[in-house]
Amino acid sequence: MKQIWKRVGENVERYRQYPRIVAETGGKDFVFAHESADIDALVTALVRGAFEYQGQKCSAASRAYIPSSIWATVKERMLKEISTIKVGNPIDFTNFMGALIDRPQFDKVATYIEHARNGAGYEIICGGSYDGSKGYFIQPTVIVSEDPKSKLMVEEIFGPVLTVFVYDTSRYEETLKLCDETSPYGLTGSIFASDRDAILKAETKLRFAAGNFYINDKPTGSMVGQQPFGGSRGSGTNDKAGFISNLMRWTSIRAIKENFDPPRNYRYPFMAQP
Residues marked active site are found at 24, 58
Burial 54-88 (b: 16+ CB within 10 A, else e): bbbbbbbbbbbbbbeebbeebbebbeebbeebebe
Instruction: Give the CA diameter of the chain.
Output: 97
* Beta strands 122-126; 61-67: pairing state: unpaired
Whole-number Å distance between alpha carbons of 165 and 128: 17
What residue type is assigned to position 148 of the chain? P
Separation between Cα atoms, residue 52 and residue 60, nearest integer Å: 8
